[in-house]
Amino acid sequence: MSPESETSGGLKTELTLGLPGDLQVQKSGIKRGFSEVVDLKLVNDSKAESQPPSTTQVVGWPPVRSYRKNLVKNCKYVKVAADGAPYLRKIDLEIHSSYQDLLTAMGDMFTCLTICNVLNERKLVDSANGEEYVPTYEDKDGDWMLVGDVPWKMFVESCKRMRLMKSSEAIGLGAAAPSTPSKGSSTSC
Amino acid sequence: MAYSFPEEVLEYVFAFLSYDKDRNAVSLVCKSWYEIERCCRRRIFIGNCYAVSPQIVIRRFPEVRAVKIKGKPHFADFNLVPEGWGAYVYPWISAMARSYPWLEEIKLKRMVVTDESLELISKSFKNFKILVLSSCEGFTTDGLASIAANCRNLRELDLGESEVEDLSGHWLSHFPDNFTSLVSLNMSCLGSEVSFSALERLVLRCPNLRTLRLNRAVPVEKLPSLLRGAPKLVEFGTGAYSAEIQTDIFSNLVEAFSGCKQLKRLSGFWDAVPAYLPAMYCVCSRITSLNLSYATVQSPDLVELISQCPNLKCLWVLDHIEDAGLKVLSSYCKDLQELRVFPSDPYGAEPNVSLTEEGLVTVSAGCPKLQSVLYFCRQMSNAALITIARNRPNLIRFRLCIIDPQAPDYLTLDPLDTGFGAIVEHCKELRRLSLSGLLTDRVFEYIGTHAKKLEMLSIAFAGDSDLGLHHVLSGCESLRKLEIMDCPFGDKALLANAAKLETMRSLWMSSCSVSYGACKLLAQKMPKLNVEVIDERGHPDLRPETCPVEKLYIYRTVSGPRVDKPDFVWTMDEDAVLRLS
């Protein structure tokens, strides 16, 4: 057994170039030799154009406290709860540019959900039983709203947290037609 | 000589000694002075919560009224200390609840504070007055509600930069209607809204309120009513300083600010909109401290504001100020003592603002009282550092962060050894230093030779060999705290200077080359140190002895290995130490 690949709590210890939001890179005690970090820097330089704006971060450097990073760098993490999921996740709304983008990210994050085309609209669907999930959010006034009605930027500004509701519960939110994946509806995943 | 002063007289005299150093000296004179002193010491400072146990403290000092305790190592601020590491305050609160019923003041830094602890504080100390939680975590707004509800004589509630779980803004409403003793409230770290009407009522009924620092969620249009309700404010922190520009909001703000004749310190300014900055101009002439480190306004607007503050002593600002803004600062603010320039885009590959070493050089030339610097930038030269050193030999704190690790002198491509060497050579009173950029063992030679008053040193991505660490450990006589990340320092220097470690508060080394074997050896040699290995790869025994440990935290202690370690921390030679103690 190679000691280097020992994991602790399921966290990898190899140095990886993870995208922002890849918690493993941030949290694990990265085994990094001195030279590995230097290489990391050089790789960063050459890939500067192709990487997304916030590239890989070496834990602990630069020595900026997290509340300073969040407050200045237009970063908006909101909690996302999915009905039936054991724990909540957090998603940075600022790094997405549209509702489609957000939907994709949520599909990636909640592995039990996939994106399907329901009536020519992209929706989040439970891959096990085909049940549709309706994205809702709590706005600044404390009201629960359907995601998608207002312009994207306005949504980002007013969203405090999100909940992916099972469509069977989303009564009264007109746009979320509770569709059961039957032979009748055009559902393609 | 048969006579000596009666105890009461000595006690009276000792009461004038406020510095711990003096009290400690007094207690070493003779047994009776030790006894008298320990019974009348009212304030204690514990720089490392694991250096001593609550029981030992309480046994020695039975009449304490104020405690200050620090927990996690400084690098915890940058996420280098894994969650669950320790620094729990509960055992301290529980012990003090039993033995210090008259405790008035608790100040904590980098500790884990639970709601349970807060509730215990609120119910155990009848005369509790001051709670300061600086960079703490582990509590929610429910804990704050207990404090509000039960601490009838509370004067100060300062949440610093703590991480608080915001369950509800209603905690503030738990201050009873007849509660009027508040002098200072800092809730700037809270995320969500507090009940504004409760806040307003609180401010209006506390006539002695001198410090009010709001959180981001308080909108600018609500500020006037608060300022009008607290005209004696000395320190004020706004919430988000932006809104649709409306003339009545602006004029209300101007009027409210002008009513605060004693206002000296300002902070807050999240999302600041330039159009609202002039509302403060009427107070600027009295302002001594300005924290604009959340204000992403551009240089011209910053300049406009700063040029109205001739009495400014302390400025915290984002690098949006740019070299041009710092030039204005240096010509208008001759009283400036402290400057902190934070990066607006620390992870960007390219600079987003025109802030270079020039800005700092200009300030060092123009501000004769400048003694404390924290500066983030993207380029530096030896020439600039040498100039700064020559201009400002009165520097006490110099923390420079060149964002690119190992960036050389951008003019010559040399290491920045001579530049930092000049700093330590000229600034003979330097107590704190943070290095960055390309640095060889040579810089450590300079530091070991010259930095005789240096108490805290922070090093990252620097040095070539153990010689570097050896220079520091053997040369820096006043060193108390040393924190190192990603440097090629190994076993030799550490083992050769083992005794030095007992004269220091703590040493932190992460991503260096200290082997497990050396850690064990060190612990064997120095039983009064806790040599803690932090390694998330599992027990170090699973790897060869020569394998470097991930992180190492060494500190002196009189209470042996700690008992609250998580499963990724091991105290070296623990069994041996336990046998000896």
Average pLDDT over residues B515-529: 96
Q: What is the ipTM of this complex?
A: 0.90
User: Per residue, what are the HEC states of B152-219?
Assistant: CCCCEEECCCCEEECCCHHHHHHCCCCCCCCCEEECCCCCCCCCHHHHHHHHHHCCCCCEEECCCCCC
Contacts of A62 in chain B (CB under 8 A): 343, 346, 376, 401, 403
Average pLDDT over residues B425-448: 98
Name the minimum distance, in Å, from the CA of A131 to any CA of chain B. 31
Distances (CA, A) of B560 to B53, B155, B575, B578, B580: 9, 37, 11, 7, 10
Contacts of A158 in chain B (CB under 8 A): none
SS3 B106: strand
| pLDDT band at B468; cut points 50, 70, 90 | very high
Look at residues B174, B223, B211, B168 and name the one whose alpha carbon lies nearest to residue B190: B168
Return d(Cα B71, Cα B434) in angstroms, integer. 21
> For residue A62, is the peptide bond before it cis, meaning its omega torsion is within 30 degrees of 0?
yes
Percent above pLDDT 90 for chain B: 91
Least confident segment among A160-174, B129-143, B409-423, B474-488: A160-174
Interface probe for B, chosen from A7, A64, A79 (most Cβ of B below 10 Å), is A64
Look at residues B373, B379, B422 and name the one whose alpha carbon lies nearest to residue B402: B379
Q: Give the pLDDT confidence score for residue A72 in this predicted structure.
A: 52
| pLDDT band at B580; cut points 50, 70, 90 | low
Q: Give the pLDDT confidence score for residue A42 in this predicted structure.
A: 38
SS3 B494: helix
Q: Cα B151 to the chain's mean position, in Å?
A: 26
Q: For strand B211-213 and strand B235-237, is the pairing parallel, antiparallel, or unpaired?
A: parallel
Average pLDDT over residues B66-75: 98
SS3 B14: helix
Instruction: Judge: A8–B568 Cβ closer than 8 Å, yes or no.
Output: yes
Q: Give the pLDDT confidence score for residue A39 in this predicted structure.
A: 41
Beta-bridge partner residues of B507: B482, B554
Q: How confident is the model over B371-415, as pLDDT tens digits?
A: 999 999 999 999 999 999 999 999 999 999 999 999 999 999 999
Instruction: Judge: A6–B405 Cβ closer than 8 Å, yes or no.
Output: no
Q: For strand A161-166 and strand A77-82, is the pairing parallel, antiparallel, or unpaired?
A: parallel
Instruction: Judge: B345–A73 Cβ closer than 8 Å, yes or no.
Output: yes
> pTM, whole model, 2 decimals?
0.80
Interface probe for A, chosen from B489, B509, B537, B568 (most Cβ of A below 10 Å), is B537
| Residue corresponding to tokens 């003339």 | B247
| pLDDT band at B581; cut points 50, 70, 90 | low
Look at residues B560, B554, B565 and name the one whose alpha carbon lies nearest to residue B575: B560
Q: Give the pLDDT confidence score for residue B223 in this predicted structure.
A: 96
Contacts of B196 in chain A (CB under 8 A): none
Q: Measured between CB atoms, which of B75, B349, B535 is closest to A55? A: B349
Task: Indicate if the pLDDT at residue B176 is higher than 70.
Answer: yes
Q: Give the pLDDT confidence score for residue B168 in this predicted structure.
A: 82
Return d(Cα A89, Cα B107) in angstroms, integer. 33
Q: Are B409 and B403 in contact (CB under 8 A)?
A: no
Look at residues B433, B423, B442, B479 and name the one whose alpha carbon lies nearest to residue B460: B433
Distance spanning both ends of chain B, measured CA to CA = 41
Q: How confident is the model over B535-577, as pLDDT tens digits?
A: 999 999 999 999 999 999 999 999 999 999 999 999 998 876 6
**Biggest alpha carbon–alpha carbon distance for chain B:** 80
Least confident segment among A98-102, B100-104, B228-232, B512-516: A98-102
Tell whether A63 is within 8 A of chain B (Cβ): yes
Return d(Cα A32, Cα B511) in angstroms, integer. 6
Sign of CA dihedral B320, B322, B328, B332: positive
Determine how many CB atoms are found less than 10 A away from the CB of residue B449: 14
Q: Give the pLDDT confidence score for residue A48 in this predicted structure.
A: 37
Percent above pLDDT 70 for chain B: 98
Average pLDDT over residues B319-342: 97
Per-residue pLDDT of chain A (189 residues; tens, 9 = 90+): 334 433 444 444 444 444 444 433 333 333 454 444 444 443 334 333 333 344 456 789 999 998 887 655 456 778 899 888 877 888 888 778 789 889 988 888 887 888 888 777 888 888 888 889 999 999 888 889 999 999 888 898 889 899 999 988 876 655 444 444 444 444 455
Average pLDDT over residues B149-172: 94
Q: Give the pLDDT confidence score for residue B74 in this predicted structure.
A: 98
Q: Give the pLDDT confidence score for residue B399 in this predicted structure.
A: 98
Average pLDDT over residues B275-300: 94
Q: Cα B442 to the chain's mean position, in Å?
A: 29
Contacts of B347 in chain A (CB under 8 A): 54-55, 57, 73
Instruction: Kindly identify which residue of chain A lies nearest to residue B216, measuring between CA atoms.
Output: A71
Least confident segment among A46-50, B36-40, B202-206: A46-50
Mean pLDDT score across all residues of chain B: 95
Q: Measured between CB atoms, which of A11, A31, A62 is closest to B343? A: A62
Instruction: Judge: A65–B538 Cβ closer than 8 Å, yes or no.
Output: no
Return d(Cα B386, Cα B392) in angstroms, integer. 10
The DSSP code for A18 is P
Q: Are B164 and B140 in contact (CB under 8 A)?
A: yes
Q: Which long-range contacts (CB under 8 A, 24 or more apart) does B440-444 make?
A: B440/B415, B440/B464, B440/B468, B441/B465, B441/B467, B441/B468, B441/B471, B442/B415, B442/B417, B443/B415, B443/B416, B443/B417, B443/B468, B444/B468, B444/B469, B444/B470, B444/B471, B444/B472
